[in-house]
Structures are given as C-alpha cells and as structure tokens.
Amino acid sequence: MKLRKVSAAAAAAIVLSITATACGGDGDSDSGSGSGGGDKIKIGIKYDQPGLGLKEPDGSFSGFDVDVATYVAKELGYDADQIEFVETKTPDRENALKRGDVKFIAATYSINDERKKSVDFAGPYLLAHQDLLIKTDSDITEATDLNGKKLCSVTGSTSAQNVKNDFAPKANLTERSGYSECVSALQSGAVDALTTDDSILAGYASQEQYKGKFKLAGLKLSNENYGIGVQKGDTETLNKINAALEKMVQEKAWDKAVADNFGPANYKNEPAPKIGVIVK
C-alpha cells in the first residue's frame, strides 16, 4: 500500500477533526438535552400494547402513545429519525427516568399521588377508564353480570380485583401472564370477559384479526389519567411537553391519532383532557 505525504495544514485539520469528535462533536450522539439540532432523543414506550405502544415485526412502532410521543418530540426540535424508542415496562418506568435512560415516557402512565413523589407528569393527554372487553354477541351489559362468569386479567392486576371486590364477587377470575393470552382465551370462549383500561382493550379489539369479533362494554369502572413522565425537577422539559400537547389538540392531530388507533373498536373516548386537570 502506498503512503502519501500529508501536508502540515492537512495534518492540523485531521487533529482538529479528531479533537472535535472526542469532545462530543458528533451530531448523532444522544445528549438527552431535548434541544434537537442533530442530537437523538430517547423516549420510553410500551412494546406490547396494540393501539398504544407496539413494536411491529419490521421494527417500526405504532400506537396512540407513539403518535403522541412523536408529535411532542417534533415540537421539542426532533425529526422522526432522531427518535429512539426504548421499551419501558411498568415496574421500571420510575427508575428509567431517575437513571436518565430516557428523556420522557409515554406508556399508559397513569398519574397518581404515589408516582408523583418521584416523577413529574405533563398532561394528562388521555382519560381512560377500566372497562370490559367482550364478544360482540355477549349479553354482558353491567359489571354485575360477571357473577358466575369467567373473567380474565393479567396476574397481579388490580383491575380484576376491583371487579371482584366492588361489582361481581362471584366472578370466576382467571389470571394469565399477558393481555394477549386473555384475548385468545376470550376468542376461544374459555373466558367471558377481559378487564383493564378501555384504551388498552380498544387497541386489541382494533387489531386486524379481531375486527368485528369484540366490543367494549362501555363501563367506566375507574378513571385513569395518562400523563407523560419526566425526570423529577425537569421543569423546562415539562413545560415544553405541556405546550406541545396543547398544540396537538388545537391542530386536531390528537383527534386523528385517536381515530387512527382506536377507531375500529368503536372506542368512545373522552374529549382531550385539560392540562393539569386530573379526574378523580
């Protein structure tokens, strides 16, 4: 291999280039500053909730939370190709923010007093309710109709326990490791209903293979105010996200996201909530 002589000016340029890279001059690096301008931004979402946060087989992402997060990131100065979605499972959401693994989290993250001790919340951006998913020809119209019937939810779910404690103490509770398994059990007739947030249920019912087979009972058994979690004390990011959410509603992009992700399930969503207003 032939080696060419390098002039002093060229050598100096190379040194400057290397120095700039070592000092963080790479525009593709993730500073987490939320300033845009070439950096990437890491956003926490769910990977396994159709209609809300789902990682598709081709590696892309879909769902209402994904659409909201993408819109917010754009308002923070990031293009779609600058977003890195990070899976944040329910038990790890607070820690992911504390560690700085993500800039913010949009992952069916219900705002409550306990979580507000360690996380700041923008929003809320969606008001969901605990509901039932049933077959389209089901005769279940009230939670009390579940007495003597088989009810499915995930292991450790508070939703199923709420039904047994408050509405149908004689319901036969079946617990599965995930909602997908409950949906399969509902389809086969092994259970009569599945319970969790209506937004999550609508996401499953909207999947192509389930269209027309399931419906939501339309019950409002609880109020779930979904917020966007940010690191405690990050007021600057919090305020920017709130402004982005307000703009999303004003531009009707919020309505479009609801229709795109929940429409096939005939999901009767609440109007876009007001920033800072928590429905108890």
Looking at residue 95, which CATH number applies to its domain?
Answer: 3.40.190.10
- pLDDT, tens digit (0-9, with 9 covering 90-100), for 87-97: 998 889 999 99
CA angle 217, 218, 222 (to 5 degrees): 110
The boundaries of the domain holding residue 240 are: 41-128+224-265
Which two structure tokens, joined as six digits, stand for 167? 């509405």
Region of 164 (left: φ > 0; alpha: ψ -120 to 50; beta: rest) is alpha
Regarding whether 183 and 145 lie in a shared domain, the answer is yes
Regarding whether 232 and 122 lie in a shared domain, the answer is yes
Regarding whether 137 and 115 lie in a shared domain, the answer is no
Other beta carbons within 10 angstroms of residue 99's beta carbon come to: 10
Phi/psi at 219 (5° precision): -90, 150
Angstrom distances, CA of residue 136 to CA of 146, 270, 273: 16, 22, 29
- Total of domains in the chain: 2
Check pLDDT > 60 for residue 35. no
DSSP secondary structure string, 193-232?
A: EEEEEHHHHHHHHTSGGGTTTEEE-------EEEEEEEET
pTM score, whole prediction:
0.81
Task: Tell me if 74 sits within 8 A of 99, measured CB to CB.
Answer: no
- pLDDT, tens digit (0-9, with 9 covering 90-100), for 37-72: 459 999 999 999 999 999 999 999 999 999 999 999
